Amino acid sequence: MARIVMKFGGTSMAGIERIRNVARQVKREWAKGEQVAVVVSAMSGETDRLVNFCREASPLYDAKEYDVVVASGEQVTSGLLAIALQAIGVPARSWLGWQLPIRTSDAHASARIATIDTEALNASLASGEVAVIPGFQGQTEEGRVTTLGRGGSDTSAVAVAAAMKADRCDIYTDVDGVYTTDPRIVPRARKIPKITYEEMLELASVGAKVLQTRSVGLAMKEKVRVQVLSSFGDPDAEPTPGTFVVGEDEIGEGQVEQQLITGIAYDRNEAKITLVAVPDRPGAVASIFNPLAEASINVDMIVQNVAHGTGSTDVTFTVPGAELARSLDVLEKARETIGYEKLVPDTEVCKISVVGVGMRSHAGVAATMFQALAGRGINIQAITTSEIKVSVLIHQDYTELAVRVLHTAYGLDAEDAA
Amino acid sequence: MARIVMKFGGTSMAGIERIRNVARQVKREWAKGEQVAVVVSAMSGETDRLVNFCREASPLYDAKEYDVVVASGEQVTSGLLAIALQAIGVPARSWLGWQLPIRTSDAHASARIATIDTEALNASLASGEVAVIPGFQGQTEEGRVTTLGRGGSDTSAVAVAAAMKADRCDIYTDVDGVYTTDPRIVPRARKIPKITYEEMLELASVGAKVLQTRSVGLAMKEKVRVQVLSSFGDPDAEPTPGTFVVGEDEIGEGQVEQQLITGIAYDRNEAKITLVAVPDRPGAVASIFNPLAEASINVDMIVQNVAHGTGSTDVTFTVPGAELARSLDVLEKARETIGYEKLVPDTEVCKISVVGVGMRSHAGVAATMFQALAGRGINIQAITTSEIKVSVLIHQDYTELAVRVLHTAYGLDAEDAA
């Protein structure tokens, strides 16, 4: 007997037909004798509807009341799934965030889970009942409703899995796993059978939308084995294995050769800003990035170009595309302090990242990347690296070409093309 | 300083524009320095949507989970109203059923309110905050979500008013008060300034849809002064007084003459059943009504006709129209036990009721009724009376005529027709 958490997203919960389909998938696992907790999202579109109500009511809405409103979406689907399960002979009940309870910080609309009380949950599971838990929600110490921020249901699922010491946390979604890169760009992309938490974190944060970044971080911290798999197969048949997100120790098992690179991600939602002719003196860089930090703008890649030999230098960096206007505003206001000559924004960029724990023990990963891109005449505008990632900024027009070239260069192409 | 409860129904909460309008009405009272608790319904149509989800998920849905699903409608509007109030400078917060808490019986989907904890509520009101309370919901002793049954928000409002010892419970609705009869039938119907709980109960239970019957019973028991008034006037202006539902002691005040009849109601949703030639022996009537009672079918008017002189008699009674098919089925099955000759259903009937506490001290109310109807050739098929009500069953075709004739006969017509 295993204890498992099954998590279903908004697309899987969109309407009663799909909820019935989810119920059959849950029954399949329950019928094996597993102890099953299910974490559900709101019907797709519902959270948007509720968020829009709040915005309409007041653009400066109270986050405490926002939470009361938007938490209702998952409340509805958890009750409906419990009903659908009972209808096919599976004992089930819903446990709302305040009923378990799931205690969170009081950072309304973006709360963090503190503790999950498992006494009642364990008793329910031990009795053979399926526990249906609305994702995304919890309550503060004082008993007010909280939500975890958009996409928070993945985090709820991992937190529940950690609290109940689950053997596995299966995230059912609209893709059947994590791929070496976006299959829409590279048809020969392969599904990755196992990926480490660290790699998944890097891939999640650079544009692969399969799992919410926070949930991966939590899984890593709590050592929760996560599987990403499709919710759209035959609900009664054993599902095709998806991608397991696990610790590094588990990766070697059964694999003859360790891949150097696990996956390639791209992110078109960055914007580049260049400050031309910044005085080349101590404190110059701080005068640029302090005001951005104060405005809570995340700066990603930073390049300080070769000095002009005139006592001045160019500074280039990237910010999230959605923050570009605000960033320019902050920098315009700080123009005198910084003393730059010109401000040049550029949204026609794309960040390409290659990720793999293999690169820790292998040299030449970056060199392969630069050479492969140079071979196709793709100019690199900026570079950043971490222990298991190399990212380059290129012109957006070359996105698909660059991803394809790198996928081949690192030997990731499937042998039989899809 | 007064303490008041304001209750707004689904039509008043349908969409953000209307919720903003409600917020202004609440602000108007709050700005006078009143302590204000607001009880809200779900947006109109929302509860139906949620109920349909449950039915689709399983016709035999678990009432516990149904409650989790449908209680969300009021949760949403309470959060939104709190946001809308804050947006116009009124401190406000929502208090969900489980947060106060409002404790109910565990009769899910039709729970009864047991107690309302007012400690936190009183502190909130004393601080000048408006308390926004979702109607229709509560929780059991074990902490599961309950709902009170359709239309339960009126009952929530009265219960909250009783618990907080409110000076008044204002029920804002889409009509501006209780009328002497349906103004669509009698344009000269008048708004009743004050009506007793007993009269309102009789009128509510015979077809006047202004207040939920249960809420009136609770108001009577707890001596809560209820006012029914329109939510669609200028939200910033003092509202036109509606109808006060109060104790009998308060009625005489300021009125020169006590009306004999307060109002006239009609109900087309009854069905008549006649059992022809039932053996006229002891126990015959019990053999008819026992199986109906066992099937939880409410029998209303009962007439045992003159015996045929053949040792048999006809028995006529009414049941709710929606229960007719089930009633006939029960009676068909009991045919041998009862021993009747023929079963004659009739849905073309209407029950007309005249209601007034004045009839306690005046004879001749029923006689006036019979005479007025006879004068227009309207045949009476059955009669029932209570201390403050006389009801007759007539053919449905005469409904409007009968109501108009009686309205004039009892001197209820307004002097200046609308």
Judge whether residue A299 has pLDDT over 80. yes
Which residues in chain A are closer than 8 Å to B78, comparing Cβ atoms? 68
Distances in whole angstroms, Cα of residue B175 to Cα of each of B136, B218, B242: 21, 22, 9
Q: Are A260 and A362 in contact (CB under 8 A)?
A: yes
Residue A233's region, left for phi above 0, alpha for psi from -120 to 50, else beta, is beta
Measured in angstroms, the CA of B20 and the nearest CA of chain A are apart by 7
Task: Search chain A and give the residue with CA nearest B63.
Answer: A83
Which residue from B64, B66, B83 is facing A65, i.e. has the nearest CB? B83
Computed over its alpha carbons, how large is the radius of gyration of chain A?
Answer: 24
pLDDT tens-digit map of A236-271: 999 999 999 999 888 865 554 567 899 999 999 999
Number of H helices, E strands in chain B: 14, 20
Q: Which CATH number does the domain housing residue B193 bear?
A: 3.40.1160.10
Task: Please enumerate residues of A whose Cβ is less than 8 A from a Cβ of B.
Answer: 16, 19-20, 50, 53-54, 56-58, 60-62, 64-69, 71-72, 75-76, 78-80, 82-84, 86-87, 93-94, 96, 98-99, 143-145
B348 within some domain: no
Measured in angstroms, the CA of B83 and the nearest CA of chain A are apart by 6
pLDDT tens-digit map of B65-110: 999 999 999 999 999 999 999 999 999 999 999 999 999 999 999 9
Measured in angstroms, the CA of A290 and the nearest CA of chain B are apart by 33
- The β-bridge partners of A115 are A103
Judge whether residue B257 has pLDDT over 70. no
What whole-number distance in Å separates Cα of residue B395 and Cα of residue B399? 7
Asked if the Cβ–Cβ distance from A54 to B145 is below 8 Å, we say: no
Measured in angstroms, the CA of B234 and the nearest CA of chain A are apart by 19
- Per-residue pLDDT at A255: 55
pTM, to two decimals: 0.86
- Per-residue pLDDT at A209: 72
pLDDT tens-digit map of A208-233: 678 888 999 999 999 999 999 999 88
A90 within some domain: yes
B357 within some domain: no
A411 within some domain: no
**Burial class (CB within 10 angstroms; exposed 0-12, middle 13-18, buried 19+) of A221:** exposed
- Per-residue pLDDT at A257: 55
CA B390 to chain centre: 19
B330 within some domain: no
Which residue from B68, B75, B83 is facing A54, i.e. has the nearest CB? B83
Asked if the Cβ–Cβ distance from B80 to A54 is below 8 Å, we say: yes
Q: Which residue has the tokens 């505003």?
A: A329
Does the annotation place A179 within a ligand binding site?
A: yes
Q: Are B111 and B166 in contact (CB under 8 A)?
A: no
Measured in angstroms, the CA of A102 and the nearest CA of chain B are apart by 15
First to last CA, chain A: 37
Q: Which residue has the tokens 């009962």?
A: B302
Q: Name the residue range of residue A69's domain.
A: 3-254
Task: Please enumerate residues of B whose Cβ is less than 8 A from a Cβ of A.
Answer: 16, 19-20, 50, 53-54, 56-58, 60-62, 64-69, 71-73, 75-76, 78-80, 82-84, 86-87, 93-94, 96, 98-99, 143-145
Q: Which of A178-187, A267-276, B183-192, B244-253 has the least mean pLDDT?
A: B244-253
ipTM value? 0.84
pLDDT tens-digit map of B132-164: 999 999 999 999 999 998 779 999 999 999 999
Number of domain units in chain A: 1
Q: Which of A160-164, A250-254, B115-119, B215-219 has the least mean pLDDT?
A: A250-254
Measured in angstroms, the CA of B38 and the nearest CA of chain A are apart by 15
B380 within some domain: no
Which residues in chain A are closer than 8 Å to B96, comparing Cβ atoms? 68, 145
What whole-number distance in Å separates Cα of residue A243 and Cα of residue A230? 10
- Highest mean pLDDT (candidates B81-95, B168-182, B272-286, B325-339): B81-95
Greater confidence (B327 vs A151) lies with B327
Task: Search chain B and give the residue with CA nearest A92.
Answer: B65
Asked if the Cβ–Cβ distance from B144 to A61 is below 8 Å, we say: no
What whole-number distance in Å separates Cα of residue B400 and Cα of residue B266? 9
Which residue from A54, A68, A75 is facing B78, i.e. has the nearest CB? A68
Which residue from A50, A71, A98 is facing B98, i.e. has the nearest CB? A98
Cβ pairs bridging A and B (under 8 Å): 114
Which residues in chain A are closer than 8 Å to B145, comparing Cβ atoms? 96
What whole-number distance in Å separates Cα of residue A25 and Cα of residue A6? 9
Residues of the binding site of B for ATP: 7-10, 173-174, 179, 184, 209-210
Which residue from B65, B73, B86 is facing A83, i.e. has the nearest CB? B65
A402 within some domain: no
- The β-bridge partners of B265 are B353
- Per-residue pLDDT at B412: 93
With pLDDT > 90 as the criterion, what percentage of chain A qualifies? Answer: 77
Judge whether residue B118 has pLDDT over 90. yes
Q: Are B39 and B81 in contact (CB under 8 A)?
A: no
Query: Which runs of consecutive H residues, i.e. helices, occur in A31-71?
Result: 46-57, 63-70
Residues of the binding site of B: 7-10, 47, 74, 173-174, 179, 184, 209-210
A188 within some domain: yes
Q: Which amino acid is residue A263, in one-letter code?
A: G
- Per-residue pLDDT at B358: 85
Task: Search chain B and give the residue with CA nearest A56.
Answer: B16
Nearest to A10 by CA among A47, A34, A33, A42: A42
Candidates B53, B81, B133: best to mutate against A (most CBs of A within 10 A) is B53
Local confidence band at A310 (pLDDT 50, 70, 90 cut-offs): confident
What whole-number distance in Å separates Cα of residue B286 and Cα of residue B98? 45
Which residues in chain A are closer than 8 Å to B79, comparing Cβ atoms? 54, 65-69
Asked if the Cβ–Cβ distance from A57 to B143 is below 8 Å, we say: no
Task: Search chain B and give the residue with CA nearest A142.
Answer: B99
Asked if the Cβ–Cβ distance from B65 to A56 is below 8 Å, we say: no
- Per-residue pLDDT at A41: 97
